[in-house]
Structure 1
Amino acid sequence: MPYDIQKLYSPTHRLRRKITDCQAMIQLVDQVLTKDFILAISLKTIHQPRMLVETHPSDSKSKVCMLTYYPQFDSESQSPVELIYLIDVSNSMDGQTMKQTKQLAHMFLSNMTSENNSNTVFNVITFGSDNDECFPISIPSTRENIDKAKHFILHSLVHRGNTDLFSVLRHYSLLPSYDQIRNFVLISDGHLNDMKAIVSLLKCHQMKKDRFFTCSVGETPNKHNLKQLINSTSGGGIATVFDSNYRSKWKTKVLHILENTRQPCVNDIVIDWHNEDENNNMLPFQQAPQHIHSLFNGQRLTIYGFINDCYKATLKANVNGYELSTTVFSSKMTETTGKILHCLTARAIIDDWENGLLYINDTENE
């Protein structure tokens, strides 16, 4: 490993270890593997961008690259932030699922009452076949306004027919947000009507600075639809699963989402592989994820690629009108022979295909 090893341990098995600065040897104390083996490695410079190149042991022409970035930029946006909570109260959100949805919405509102939200305005909308707004327009997140929103959610009507998210978003597309970042936080089971129309709407120019944070609830959420919402917006977002069996993790996830809503909007994220063969179509090239939609300060971004003779890559993005550029290089120490990165790259490409994200044209994904 071409980086200083700070710590190496296994939470599942006892180990004998021999560690130098960049190399380590391990041996199991108990020779029998009766359960899954987990090995954790902590590096000294964990946030340094990295590029690893792997050659297949039986085919020297088959090479893959793995890029790891930890982008650094001003994480606190100076622009006002708008938070729109979209609460699904359709027929599919029944019984326990609806109860969990209201509890989750209450948790989001409760964690907005901090000084970090002084420049935040918000609104709450419940929707089914029709929709209701808590306030006529988004208003400051004062304690009084948040209490009103909690009361609105607690007493909102349920069993409201179909899941017509399109009508809600169309209203906001007619009121583009040019001077502030607009974040939609959707709490739903993901069973949405007319996804093609919604996806087309999110790609329009009026919603270029909008982001989607989806919170899937219920026993059988449609995670594919929720991911599609995020991947269709220019600003990206995060898809988060709120499992009723792990409620102890809900608050951490909520705080993570709220923190990301305050970050600047990042658009036009691309990877320049600096590879001439790719441009000349001499060799097949495949990147995963094929389209990068989200980028947040200090959070790891990993990209895989089947590509030959590539020893330099640059991450480029637009952060509130300013260009972000980070270049990483490979070296002899970061070149390996094996199949691990090949398998990870193949898995990432399959994930793109399963989520309908491998090609821009939907018919090609099918």
Structure 2
Amino acid sequence: MSSHSPIFGLYCLPSGASAACTPVSFPLLSVRISARLTDLSAQVTLVQTYLNATAPGVPTSTEARYAFPVPARAVVHSFTMIRGDGTRVVGRVQEKRAARKTYDSAVQRGKQAGILEQSTPDVFRVSVGNIPPNEEVQIELVYATELTEDEENDSVRFHVPMHIGARYGVAPAELGGFESQNVRSHGAFLEMITHIESTSPISEIGSPSHTISTELGPDPALPNASQLPFSHYARVFLSSDAQLQKDFVLTVKSAGLDTPRCVAETREGEVAMGLTFVPRFVLPPVARQEYIFLVDRSGSMDGQRMMAARKALVVMLRSLPHRDSSSLFNIASFGSDCTLLWPQGSRAYDQETLEQATEHVDSMWATYGGTEIRYALGKCFAQRQSDRPTSIFMLTDGDAWDLAGVLELVKGTVDKHPVRVFVLGIGDAVSTAMCEGIARVGNGACMFVGESETKFTGKVARLLKAAKTPVIGDVHVDWGSTVVSDEAEEEFELLECPPAPQTKRSAKLNLFDCDVDVLESDDSPAPPPSLEINLPPIPSAQQSPFKIRSLLPGVRCTVYAILQSSQIPPKVVLHGTTADGATIELPVDVTASCLGTIALHAISARKIIQDLEDGQHGLARDGDPDLLSRTVNAAIVRLGTKYGIASSQTSFVAVDETIESVDANEVETFEEGLNSLRTLASASASSAPSAGVHMPAPAAPPPPMLIAAPPPPPRAPPPGSVAPSSSSESDDTYGIGSDAGSHTAPPIDDAEESDDDMGFGLFDGGTPPPHVDSDSLVNSDPLEALARLQSFDGAFSAQVLDLAFMHLTVDRAGLRALLSLPAGLKDEDVLLATVLAMAYLSSQLGGDVERECWEDMYSKAHDYVCDALGWQSAQLMASQAKAVDVFG
């Protein structure tokens, strides 16, 4: 957990107060959100109404400030301030120092002005100057964002941070109960409408975070609503008379979302293109790999978040490869400190170490204080084995403000060593910039689990499958006639400013000049003039990612490009090469967007800027880091100003751009904003709209909680440690964040040998499946319970035969007869349990649990039974099919 939290909401400082003074909040009267989802993208328009409740004559600052979070993958492309009389002050993009100068000058002259600046890639800051007392002001923000993968195939996840609905700071004493007595009602505090459009029928809509109201079919207000395919459209409504205490999450499932597609958008002699798909392929797993699980155990991980981390680890540990490989693994816990399960280094993956690791996972509690991500990653990098590749899985809910330092550490390590970093972000307060940034520069992948979600094992399985897949190298896209090469060079020139003419000193020097103030006079030599950067012409093709480092199965791959051409290529082709020399070629037809927007250009430019900030570019490097930094910044300014987006080097500034008052209907145009990538999603070749009207399918309710009971109480903490709280509520507060306590991390001793070691093996010296405490099984859902009963080599414990949720209709003798196992087998119950577990995994978990959640467990069990009995796969499948009949 970071030690400082940003203030989300409009606030100002009392006149003459220091920066450390408690801010005075402007009451937030209402929030309106309009979102438009088109398969793989969303555009969000946010309108918040604040009131400067300061009475006339009460001294306050002339400037009010406002901060808001957005997903790190989003691009802010519109900022407007609407005054109480309806006057719209519209922002335009300038270089950030020029924008700040424009804003400061306007405020000093008494003009009403606003400026939007980027604090981090997922937090923006707005300052508004000269808001009159007792006047309402609306802040209108528009951003476009990609949608992330959800738990199942062909499903996406839409997330809106709800910190926007918070009231911050302490109301001024002069108001005297203003908030409860004088704020006039504006109806519902929050009103949100989400328009969904899909290129194929929508099969499921749900929200794991809130209760929603859903209407299937196109918006009746559309001029051609009666001609649109009914089942391809929906609207989702959310209304509340109080601010929400957790982020809003919406999931949508529709056939074909994972299929390859490419959309092109034209603008003034340019073509912006977006290629996206979810790779589906199988390669032999990486041999001799090390796996390090880095688990956030800071205080904010208490409750449901820590339970989610434990469940994820239990499943992941059972899915590590063991055949024809030499897998090593370790578990690191971090907070204010970082400790390792095995401080001397990772150990071989076998039954003994698996049981030690599971026991350690079950003892995990959130007692490690703050969130020192950089230190923890550095320790894992230092401890890694140098004779093999390493995959690091970080499970965290926290963020760190040292984003640049963390990313530089990861990037520097990955560039020099065979290391990949994967991230599972847990909770609503997780920094998307930090998690996605680490995975991006770490050549890994990132998934998120919401505050109240427990259905996430599919995401865990995707991360692990990606880590086990060999790197596919030399991946590049042929954008028609242009191929972007990672060796491209953009030469630039340095133009030296001519030095200012020097005046000759007078022959006489007055040693006591009354006109000279020695406290202000400074005769020190001026710094040498800076060198101006003359950027080269824009390249014929700009691509993001600048270099496609790998393709990962089950993890969406999206590549953007801006071509300096007015011609849209009919087809693009993705090429690559596997480690064993096999070539890859994926041709994709291009669909032209007919929306007339430039939003695809904006989001493409934002991704290119992200590459520049990460150091992924073709700018010439001559050993001068300062020169390179200024060149990169100049390139960012060129992109930000050209495409009208906020970035680390560009800001929106709005000064007194008045128009005639708008009526209510005109204000509602916030629902008609641009949609950044709507036809990127609508280009699937297999999803041609039908002319008829389809009957709607019922929307799916939010998924039920899968964890049936809370975990057992923790063991007594070591002396000096902080006992975990029993509350499972988020530690997020919607006022000014307090500093995280400096908890001392409890010492972690080396795992001891089990006293319950059963002195027999199954076959040829093998180790027996684990015996699991019954309480652990009662408190687990079926998938987790089965995972706990599986050994490292795939065998399942005979305890499977006693699991109540299986509802077996025959006893063990009946099972033996039904499955026709060979006579005289040693430990026959283990084989019975393994075949039964395989049958349950493949037939009884239902559609709510994706196959990829359990396929690694199943595959290991399959190999175990075939090896033990000398069976072919067909024999095992026949026996498994019989086992399906025993479930009641």
TM-score, with normalisation over the residues of structure 1? 0.71
> How far off is 1:232 after superposition?
1.9
1:253 counterpart (456, 459, 464): 459
- Matched AA of 1:215: L
For the residues of structure 1 that align with 2:374 and 2:446, how far apart are their CA atoms?
19
> How far off is 1:102 after superposition?
4.5
CA distance 1:190–1:292, shift in 2 (3 Å):
farther
1:259-278 map, 5 Å: 259-266=465-472, 269-273=475-479, 275=481
1:341-360 map, 5 Å: 342-350=598-606, 356-357=610-611, 359-360=613-614
1:216-235 map, 5 Å: 216-233=425-442
For the residues of structure 2 that align with 1:70 and 1:39, how far apart are their CA atoms?
15
Contact 1:68 1:303 in 2 (8 A): yes
Q: Which moved more, 1:356-365 or 1:197-206?
A: 356-365
Matched residue SS, 1:254:
helix
Contact 1:100 1:217 in 2 (8 A): yes
2:306 counterpart (75, 92, 101): 101
Aligned to 1:22: none
Aligned to 2:371: 163
Tell whether 2:419 aligns with 1:210: yes
CA distance 1:352–1:250, shift in 2 (3 Å):
farther
Residues 155-194 of structure 1, C-alpha deviations (whole Å, 9 max, x = no match): 3464434433334433444466565331111111232364
For the residues of structure 1 that align with 2:360 and 2:234, how far apart are their CA atoms?
54
> How far off is 1:273 after superposition?
3.3
Contact 1:165 1:193 in 2 (8 A): no
**How many percent identity over aligned positions?**
18
1:68-107 map, 5 Å: 68=276, 74-91=282-299, 93-96=300-303, 99-107=304-312
Aligned to 1:296: 552
- Matched AA of 1:109: V
Residues 197-227 of structure 1, C-alpha deviations (whole Å, 9 max, x = no match): 3322322356532111111123311121111
For the residues of structure 1 that align with 2:558 and 2:371, how far apart are their CA atoms?
34
Residues 116-142 of structure 1, C-alpha deviations (whole Å, 9 max, x = no match): 444432111112232221123222333
Contact 2:541 2:562 in 1 (8 A): yes
> How far off is 1:263 after superposition?
0.8
For the residues of structure 2 that align with 1:277 and 1:100, how far apart are their CA atoms?
45
> How far off is 1:80 after superposition?
2.1
Tell whether 2:334 aligns with 1:127: yes
1:149 counterpart (335, 349, 357): 357
Aligned to 1:238: 445
For the residues of structure 2 that align with 1:40 and 1:160, how far apart are their CA atoms?
42
CA distance 1:190–1:265, shift in 2 (3 Å):
farther
Matched residue SS, 1:244:
coil
Contact 1:217 1:242 in 2 (8 A): yes
- Matched AA of 1:258: L
Q: Which moved more, 1:310-319 or 1:119-128?
A: 310-319
Contact 1:285 1:305 in 2 (8 A): yes
1:112 counterpart (310, 317, 332): 317
Matched residue SS, 1:246:
coil
For the residues of structure 2 that align with 1:321 and 1:205, how far apart are their CA atoms?
25
1:196 counterpart (399, 404, 407): 404
Matched residue SS, 2:333:
strand
Residues 286-325 of structure 1, C-alpha deviations (whole Å, 9 max, x = no match): 4344554552136552323222246364535564475755
For the residues of structure 1 that align with 2:359 and 2:253, how far apart are their CA atoms?
48
Contact 1:101 1:187 in 2 (8 A): no
For the residues of structure 1 that align with 2:271 and 2:381, how far apart are their CA atoms?
44
- Matched AA of 1:164: E
For the residues of structure 1 that align with 2:368 and 2:538, how far apart are their CA atoms?
56
Aligned to 2:811: none
Contact 2:472 2:576 in 1 (8 A): yes
Higher fraction of strand: 1
> How far off is 1:352 after superposition?
6.2
Matched residue SS, 2:453:
helix
- Matched AA of 1:85: F
Matched residue SS, 1:304:
strand
Tell whether 2:589 aligns with 1:339: no
> How far off is 1:55 after superposition?
4.3
Contact 1:129 1:162 in 2 (8 A): yes
1:51-70 map, 5 Å: 51-55=262-266, 61-68=269-276
- Matched AA of 2:329: F
CA distance 1:54–1:141, shift in 2 (3 Å):
same
Matched residue SS, 1:147:
helix
> How far off is 1:34 after superposition?
5.9
Contact 2:273 2:600 in 1 (8 A): no
- Matched AA of 1:242: V
1:317-336 map, 5 Å: 317=576, 319-320=578-579, 322=581, 324-326=583-585, 328=587, 330=589, 334=590, 336=592
Q: Which structure has the larger Rg over C-alpha atoms? A: 2
For the residues of structure 2 that align with 1:284 and 1:250, how far apart are their CA atoms?
42
CA distance 1:94–1:270, shift in 2 (3 Å):
same
Q: Show structure 1 runs of 5+ residues with no match.
A: 1-6, 16-24
Matched residue SS, 1:264:
coil
TM-score, with normalisation over the residues of structure 2? 0.33
CA distance 1:107–1:117, shift in 2 (3 Å):
farther
> How far off is 1:143 after superposition?
3.9
- Matched AA of 1:326: E
Residues 25-60 of structure 1, C-alpha deviations (whole Å, 9 max, x = no match): 964569x97659x995649xx85x55544546xx6x
